[in-house]
Every structure is written in C-alpha cells, then in structure tokens.
Amino acid sequence: MHPPQNIYIKGVLSDSSSVLMAEAAALALALSASTAGHKLLTDNQELVCFFSSTNHSKPPDWRIKHLTRRFIICLQRQNHRIFKIGRHLNQMAHTLAQQAILDIQSHHASPSFTCTNSDHANQCPLMEALQSVLRVSVYLLTARCC
C-alpha cells in the first residue's frame, strides 16, 4: 500500500476564451499527469455534471469539446472518478492560479520540476506523464510531486 501522492502543477493555458475552458484544461492536465484510479477534484459543478452523465455529445461550451473528448476517453480507460468540492476547499488551486498569473508576467524562462516522494527515489512518473501535456496547450511553469 503506497501513501497518497499529491501532484501540484502550475501552468498557463495559451489560448483560453473562458473560465470554463481553463477549468477543463486543468482537468485534462491533471488527468495527463496521473495514473489509473485517482480521484479528480474540481469546484466546477457544470463540468462534474457533464463528465458524470452518460451523454457527452454536448459539452457546456462548444469551445471545450477538444478538451472534454480526450478527457472522457482517459477518464473511462484509466478508471478515474471526478468529484465536486466546495470552492472554500479548493484554495490550493486558487493559490496556484494566482501564482501562475504572476509567474507568466515575470517571464520565467523554463519550467521547474521537483519530486520529494520517497517512493520515487529512482524515477518520478510525473516527469514522464508531463510529456503528454503539450497536447493540452498548457505552458508549464512548475510541477511538484510529493
């Protein structure tokens, strides 16, 4: 039995037209960086209802269809579950989003990656998983596995 693994990723969506699109991209990024059987948490009720439904043909906003299609395939294949949490419980995501805005404004040159998980002494799976993130149109600022 391994202890829970926490992954924190700070990034900037290169072309976001709405808050809903940014949230969908964040979920797609989280899914890309995780392994099978994890719980994904969001404070967006609209996306939880959409991903939990059986009809995925009409996302809440047509501009996020490319993100939702990929997410749904991975969600089913990897046995992930998505849950709604209250905004007051989602302070880490809010803090990372605020920091990302400041970081992109200060023009950090390259992303930083750290792993402090003792189970990953030889190799951290986060680094390999983040290679697929480029398809999500997210510029990574920092990623931490602990």
The tokens describing 26, both together, are 């964040």
Percent of the chain with pLDDT over 90: 4
pLDDT of 54 higher than 80: yes
Average pLDDT, the chain: 76
Provide the whole-model pTM. 0.71
Question: In sequence order, what are the beta bridge partners of 7?
Answer: 145
Place of tokens 């404070």: 43
Q: What is the residue extent of each domain of the chain?
A: 7-145
Question: In sequence order, what are the beta bridge partners of 138?
Answer: 13
The average pLDDT across 1-28 equals 74
Helix ranges restricted to H, the chain: 19-33, 45-52, 65-77, 91-105, 125-129
Distance CA 34, CA 145 (A): 11
The tokens describing 30, both together, are 């989280």
pLDDT of 32 higher than 50: yes
Place of tokens 């951290």: 124
Are the beta carbons of 63 and 18 closer than 8 angstroms?
A: yes
Percent of the chain with pLDDT over 70: 79
Nearest in space to 25 (alpha carbons), one of 6, 44, 39: 44
Q: Which fold has domain 7-145?
A: Nucleotidyltransferase; domain 5 (3.30.420)
pLDDT confidence band for 20 (50 / 70 / 90): confident
Distance CA 84, CA 41 (A): 6
Question: In sequence order, what are the beta bridge partners of 9?
Answer: 143
Residue 114 CA, chain-centre distance (Å), reads: 17
pLDDT of 109 higher than 70: no
